[in-house]
C-alpha cells in the first residue's frame, strides 16, 4: 500500500511515493540518498538515526515516513543551513540538492566536534550533532532534565549534558570529548556553561 508524500529535507521539498511500512530513516537513506542519518539499532535504542522534525530531535527509525507528509526534516547534512532563508541558498538541481552542498560552512556544533576530536569511527556522529543541536534548543527553552534540581534553572554542566545526550550511544566511547565539544558550541552561542 503506497502513499505519496512531500517532505522538506534539509531545505528542499522532496516528493516521493512510499510503502506505508517505510520508516523515515529508510526513506531518507534508501529513497532520497540522504545517508547522514545512520541505522545503528533500528529500534530506538542508540540515537544514530536522530534528525530534527519540525525543529525537534526525533528518531527517524521509529517514525513512519507517511506521518511526515508536509514536515520539515533536517539531518546532519542540512544543519548548517537550518536558519538560512530559502532564497539565500544556491539553486536547487534535479535531485533537490544545491550544487554547493559540500562546501557549505559547518554548524557550530559540527565545528566544535572537529575542534575537540569528539569522534573516532564517526558512525554515531551525525546523530550526536543533530541531537546536540536539538538538545541545546530544549535547554534554551528552560526545559529541565532528570538531573536538574527541583525548581532551579538548569545549568549546562557535565551531568546535564550527559543526561540530556543519553539517547545517543557511542560505541567508540568518545563521550569524554563529546561533552566538551557541546560545551564549546554552547559557550560560543552565549550559553553559560559550568564545569
Which residues sit at the interface with other proteins, rule CB under 8 A?
1, 3, 19-21, 23, 42-44, 47, 50, 56-59, 62-64, 66-67, 131, 134-135, 138, 141-146, 148, 150-151, 162-168
Which is nearer to ligand FAD, 45 or 84 (by Cβ)? 45
Which is nearer to other proteins, 35 or 166 (by Cβ)? 166
Give the dihedral of Cα atoms 179, 168, 144, 138; nearest 10 deg: 90
Which is nearer to ligand FES, 77 or 97 (by Cβ)? 77
C-alpha to C-alpha distances, 159 to 42, 47, 83, 134, 183, nearest whole angstrom: 27, 19, 29, 17, 12
Size of the site for ligand FES (CB under 6 A): 23
Crossing angle, helix 175-188 and helix 108-115, to 10 degrees? 140
Give the dihedral of Cα atoms 103, 109, 110, 115; nearest 10 deg: 110
Size of the site for ligand FAD (CB under 6 A): 2
C-alpha to C-alpha distances, 27 to 4, 6, 54, 193, nearest whole angstrom: 12, 12, 17, 37
Residue 124 site contact among other proteins, ligand FES, ligand FAD, none (CB < 5 to 8 Å, cut-off depends on kind) = ligand FES
Q: Which stretches of the chain bind ligand FES, using CB under 6 A?
A: 39-42, 44-49, 59, 61, 119-125, 170-172, 174
Q: Which stretches of the chain bind ligand FAD, using CB under 6 A?
A: 44-45
Amino acid at each position: 500500500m503506497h502513499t505519496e508524500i512531500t517532505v522538506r529535507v534539509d531545505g528542499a521539498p522532496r516528493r516521493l511515493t512510499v510503502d506505508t511500512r517505510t520508516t523515515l530513516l529508510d526513506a531518507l537513506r534508501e529513497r532520497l540518498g540522504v545517508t547522514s542519518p545512520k541505522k545503528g539499532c533500528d529500534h530506538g535504542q542508540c540515537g544514530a538515526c536522530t534528525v530534527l522534525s519540525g525543529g525537534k530531535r526525533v528518531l527517524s527509525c521509529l517514525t513512519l515516513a507517511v506521518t511526515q507528509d508536509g514536515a520539515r526534516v533536517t539531518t546532519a547534512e542540512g544543519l548548517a543551513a537550518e536558519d538560512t532563508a530559502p532564497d539565500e541558498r544556491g539553486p536547487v538541481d534535479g535531485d533537490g540538492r544545491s550544487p554547493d552542498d559540500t562546501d557549505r560552512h559547518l554548524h557550530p556544533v559540527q565545528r566544535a566536534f572537529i575542534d575537540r576530536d569528539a569522534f573516532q569511527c564517526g558512525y554515531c556522529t551525525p546523530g550526536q550533532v543533530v541531537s546536540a543541536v536539538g538538545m541545546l534548543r530544549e535547554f534554551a527553552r528552560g526545559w529541565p532534565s532528570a538531573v536538574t534540581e527541583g525548581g532551579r534553572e538548569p545549568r549546562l554542566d557535565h551531568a546535564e549534558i550527559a543526561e540530556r545526550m543519553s539517547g545517543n550511544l557511542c560505541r567508540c566511547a568518545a563521550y569524554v570529548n563529546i561533552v566538551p565539544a557541546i560545551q564549546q558550541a554552547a559557550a560560543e552561542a552565549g550559553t553559560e556553561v559550568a564545569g
